Amino acid sequence: MGNQKPQSQNIVIENKQTSVKLKYVKLGYHYLISNFMYFSLIPLILTLAHLSLEDLAQLFHRLDLGLVSGTLVCTALTVCLATLYFSWRPREVYLLDFSCFKPEPALMCSRETFMRQTSLAELFNDETQAFHRKIIERSGYGQRTYVPKAALEDVPSASMGKAREEVEMVVFGAIDELLAKTGVNVKDIGILVVNCSLFNPTPSLSAMVVNRYKLRGNILSYSLGGMGCSAGLISVDLAKRLLQDQPNTYALVVSTESMTLNWYGGKNKSMLITNCLFRLGSSAVLLTNKWTERRRSKYQLMHTLRTHKGADDKSYRCVMQQEDEDGKVGVELSRDLLTVAGEAIKTNITMLGPLVLPASEQILFLANLVGRKIFKMKIKQYVPDFKLAFEHICIHAGGRAVLDEIEKNLSLTKWHVEPSRMTLYRFGNTSSSSLWYELAYTEAKGRVRKGDRVWQIAFGSGFKCNSGVWRALRRINPAKEKNPWIDEIDEFPVDVPDIQPVIGH
């Protein structure tokens, strides 16, 4: 009786080992069957690799292959090779359409309204209010940006319920418009990516979208949080990668930010800046890998490039949510922010250059690099002319100072920076969705022609800098577009007097 227990344990261990072996045998079997076509081509490819044209001619002669038989063999070989090529080639990703949420006029917030509401909150003294006024006057914002409903109440207050209402309003508004423009059935959407940096409730924001639109049960859904203003392009990059493994489907990418629960009520000036900067907005983008949708798609995604500088402590800490000395939570912006952003952008465009720049610019850049690094020549670093690579440039509208620096360092014209400056003026910094308001501005101006190349570049906490490169598949006719700028685009030429003093500084 005493030996029965160890024997039973041995039997259990042996059964487990057998089941594990069977598991791997089954996996190997499924893998072999699933990829049988590719394995069967390996001997043929290896054989053909060692045959010359003369060898092939002799083979046909010895087998006495007639014209018909030889044609059939060549056709079969061509089909096999073509199948192999199209199976291994990355799937092309198209942007079917996108939309940007435009809040109702009742949510507009002028500079005077902003100062009145901050005083009603009774959180700030005269010194902090003066700092608010200084920042808002230098921000490059106009008089018609938008804020959440909670910020315009007689006594501004914040709650989880009001934060949900804010996000539902902007996210559902953007998605509703996008679905109306594209006519895509929600059941055909196989991938969902939602990004919002500071508001991450449970259930997640992606679950909120699934519930509202009754998306299918096997959808690949993701909520990205804490990734800052560059999360929009990170979401596009994630969707692109997922589309490589999910044939014939659509990917919905939603970008937004929530302000209701992220108001800072302390006296730390480096945290007060965020109160003045962020505004209400959201975008929804529909991507697809269906080749049948290419004809009606707006753009093809050519490149996504991500740069992360988080390994450097200064970069990691330059934008950080934390408590101040009084225990009040806010997002602190370091004095090193512009320097860190400049370094991140420099790294990103150095990696992007070889993918998009013409050979002439790459040769000049290489010659300059060799001269400085190898021959130790005291010459200024050569900045490639990215205007030769792109017709349109959308820079994240993070602030007037950032746009000024990028315009200067990349030698851009005011025409190239106009979409970013106008977005900053009209809608403010809408975080990760700002790039799409800028592209919408470019479309509303009637500037996008077939074959045009668009460069989107964004940066955010972490510190990260990300680029997305698109190619227009058709001319965008603004008269046929539902666009947040359409009804007022003529009100915002660059030389309007009430805009120029703010932008020109």
Residues with catalytic roles: 229, 308, 392, 396, 429
Q: With contact defined as beta carbons under 8 Å apart, do 265 and 272 qualify? A: no
User: Which DSSP letter does residue 486 get?
Assistant: T
SS3 at position 339: helix
Residues in contact with 131: Cβ distance below 8 Å, sequence separation at least 6, in sequence order = 269, 272
**Concatenated DSSP letters for 214-252?**
T--TT-EEEEE-S-GGGHHHHHHHHHHHHHTTS-S-EEE
Other residues' Cβ atoms within 10 Å of the Cβ of residue 3: 7
Give dist(CA 228, CA 406) in Å, integer.
Answer: 19
E strand or H helix at 300: strand 299-308
Two structure tokens written together for 13: 């261990």
Give dist(CA 249, CA 287) in Å, integer.
Answer: 9
User: Which DSSP letter does residue 384 get?
Assistant: -
Q: How far apart are the first and last CA of the chain?
A: 93
Give dist(CA 227, CA 462) in Å, integer.
Answer: 7
* Burial of residue 138 (number of CB atoms within 10 Å: 0-12, 13-18, 19+): middle
Q: At what angle do helices 414-427 and 400-409 cross, to 10 degrees?
A: 170
Two structure tokens written together for 58: 């002799």
Give dist(CA 467, CA 389) in Å, integer.
Answer: 14
Give dist(CA 116, CA 129) in Å, integer.
Answer: 10
SS3 at position 320: strand
SS3 at position 285: strand
